[in-house]
Structure 1
Amino acid sequence: MARNLNADRPRLIFSTGSLHVYDTALCFEMAAVAGFDGIELMCDRRWTTRDAGYLFNLSEQSGLPILAVHTPYWPNLPGWPAADDPLGRIFKTIELAEQLDAETVIIHTPLTTGAAFLSVGAKRYAIPLLRSPDRPVKAWFESPEGLAAFQRQTEVRIAVENTPLFKFMGRDVNVHHWNTLEAWATVHEWLTMDTTHWATFGVDPLTGYRAAQGKLTHIHLSNYAKGKQHLLPHIGELDLAGLLQTLAGDGFRGTVSVELYPESLDFTDLDAARAHLRESVVFCREHLGQSEMIQA
């Protein structure tokens, strides 16, 4: 399915990361039945999220183009660059996106610090370390021969995503470079906005959208409430209806990706997960002015 950078409306897509506990093929099937326009592929430990031939077949069978590809959260992925090569994983993701004719690759702002993890009973705590594993990524962002130059060599839009605050000893900590509204808005020519991530800063979706100054090409859409992230779009404290209506009114032509936690979809109950996806599609279509596209 060919890359389409001249769409005439926002495309509503589903992130496979929302159901990373499910088989990749099931994610595609559920997204198609729910009525999404396409897929955002989260590269993860499943080889099926990184096998171009297999993914092309899934796309053809489901009728859903893979419009966006997200770099992996996990540093150790079988068959991909090693944990100490974060740039290699970014390049590998872009290569996969080019093979799949995706429009966008999502990358995070680089970490300012590393982290060790301590488990105490059922709880897991992040302990910041001085040495960041993302130092090569930061250098790539800053170099004239880095991110900006690489962008000129590919049709895929490399879109830099804002990241959330983390809790450390009861305090909110910003552990990423270029992760304030002002810095993020100027870091690159293409941006991804995550609504729930900005909510951890107390930033509402419309403020984040306006800060992007026309550079926004991709949105991770989910709600937020009482510290809980990646909730269903129609349940929470954020005015996502207002954001979607503004996108439609402004003629936004990028992709809006529903990106949730599996728990928000009640993943242990397949019928409930299907129903939640359907509700999310109906909510988004209605506020994007696409009610005629809601499947019966």
Structure 2
Amino acid sequence: MASAASPAGPTVLAATGPLFMTSLDYVMESIADAGFSGVEVMVGQNADTQDPERILTAASQAGLSVPAVHGPFLLLLRNVFGTSFASKATSSMELAAEVGAQVMVAHAPFRWEWRARRWLAEELPAVAAETGVIFGMENLYPVGGRAFSSVITIEEMDAYDHLVMDTSHCAVAGIDLFDMWRALSHKIVHLHVADNFGNGKDSHAPIGSGTLPLGPFLAEVGASGWTGTITLELDCRAYLETRDSLVQFLARERVKAENALAGHLTSA
């Protein structure tokens, strides 16, 4: 069953990132069994996620496409693909090109990383042109009340040509989903969708379990004619005891998202 709101609508993907401790084959097969047609691969410490041939083999065996790759920009991945922002971004975009992904999801440099910010302005365009991959800048959020990331607000996002909007990150930052979407939808190429418990943490909660108006938000996205990709980036830890529980959880969340995109708000 193809995972899309409509033939011309956004494609809903599942993320491998929340399952980084699990083998890539198991993750891909579970995602496929949950009815998804595509996946966003997080490049991590698992060597399989750094190897385009392994990614393609696992995806092909599961019958999945890989429209998006998430670079290793989390602090716990600081040594993956080198320690510099430029090396991480370049290697991630090259990997994305090899697996056929259209977008590479990136986190912004910290505010004091001037060399990285200069690279984004001066050298990224050549890398994007060479690889044919879109560099998607994702919004982050303050930590402990301090804005370490250089891209949190709508105004900071607007400095980039291609954007990845994360709904849970918006909640932590106190940014209204509709405000960001309406201001930046012409630049947004990819969405990370999850609910948030409103406790100041990046909870990546199941749709409908938190404080975010994801039903109306996804209905607006679906009605807008936007045709980007949407990844459900969800905390799966409560569903890892058996494969069936993981598959059923992912399938429920996919159905919620697709129903909301189609305007069926009671099901989201």
Instruction: Give the structure-2-normalised TM-score.
Output: 0.88
Match of 2:181 in 1: 209
Structure 2 CA distance, aligned partners of 1:150 and 1:47?
24
Task: Return the match for 1:285 from 253, 258, 261.
Answer: 258
Task: Return the match for 1:190 from 139, 151, 162.
Answer: 162
Q: Is the 8 A contact 2:153 2:175 kept in 1?
A: no
Amino acid in the other structure paired with 2:110? L
Report deviation, 1:46: 0.2
Instruction: Give the structure-1-normalised TM-score.
Output: 0.80
Match of 1:126 in 2: none
Tell which deviates more after alignment, 96-105 or 225-234: 225-234
Amino acid in the other structure paired with 2:90? F
Q: Is the 8 A contact 2:71 2:106 kept in 1?
A: yes
Report deviation, 1:149: 4.2
Aligned partner of residue 271 in structure 1, secondary structure: helix
Q: Deviations over 1:117-152 (max 9, x none)?
A: xxxxxxxxxxxxxxx5x4432111233xx2344334
Structure 1 CA distance, aligned partners of 2:67 and 2:263?
19
Match of 1:220 in 2: 192
Q: Is the 8 A contact 1:165 1:197 kept in 2?
A: no
Task: Return the match for 1:75 from 71, 78, 83.
Answer: 78
Q: Deviations over 1:86-145 (max 9, x none)?
A: 211110000001111111001111112xxxxxxxxxxxxxxxxxxx5x4432111233xx
- Say whether 1:34 aligns with 2:34: yes
Structure 1 CA distance, aligned partners of 2:132 and 2:91?
15
Aligned partner of residue 260 in structure 1, secondary structure: coil
Q: Deviations over 1:175-212 (max 9, x none)?
A: 11132111212x22110000000111222222221121
Q: Is the 8 A contact 1:19 1:267 kept in 2?
A: no
Match of 1:147 in 2: 124
Structure 2 CA distance, aligned partners of 1:213 and 1:258?
18
Bigger strand share: 1
Structure 1 CA distance, aligned partners of 2:124 and 2:178?
27
Match of 2:249 in 1: 276
| Structure 2 unpaired stretches of 5+ | 1-6
Give matches, 1:171-186, under 5 Å: 172-185=145-158
Bigger helix share: 2
Q: Deviations over 1:211-249 (max 9, x none)?
A: 214111100000001324211123111011112111111
Q: Is the 8 A contact 2:38 2:65 kept in 1?
A: yes
| Structure 1 unpaired stretches of 5+ | 1-6, 113-131, 292-296
Structure 2 CA distance, aligned partners of 1:175 and 1:92?
24
Match of 1:119 in 2: none
Task: Return the match for 1:159 from 136, 142, 145.
Answer: 136
Aligned partner of residue 166 in structure 1, secondary structure: coil
Aligned partner of residue 40 in structure 1, secondary structure: strand
Match of 1:115 in 2: none
Structure 2 CA distance, aligned partners of 1:210 and 1:150?
29
Q: Is the 8 A contact 1:148 1:188 kept in 2?
A: no
Give matches, 1:1-296, under 5 Å: 8-72=8-72, 73=74, 74-77=77-80, 80-81=81-82, 83=83, 85-112=84-111, 132=112, 134-143=113-122, 146-167=123-144, 172-185=145-158, 187-227=159-199, 228=201, 229-263=203-237, 265-289=238-262
Structure 2 CA distance, aligned partners of 1:142 and 1:62?
38
Change (3 A) 1:162 1:208: same
Q: CA RMSD in A?
A: 1.9
Q: Is the 8 A contact 1:70 1:106 kept in 2?
A: yes
Amino acid in the other structure paired with 1:289? A
Structure 2 CA distance, aligned partners of 1:155 and 1:242?
34
Aligned partner of residue 40 in structure 2, secondary structure: strand
**Structure number with larger C-alpha Rg:** 1
Q: Deviations over 1:41-69 (max 9, x none)?
A: 00000001111111111121111101100
Aligned partner of residue 204 in structure 2, secondary structure: strand
Q: Deviations over 1:15-56 (max 9, x none)?
A: 100211211111111110111120100000000111111111
Aligned residues: 253
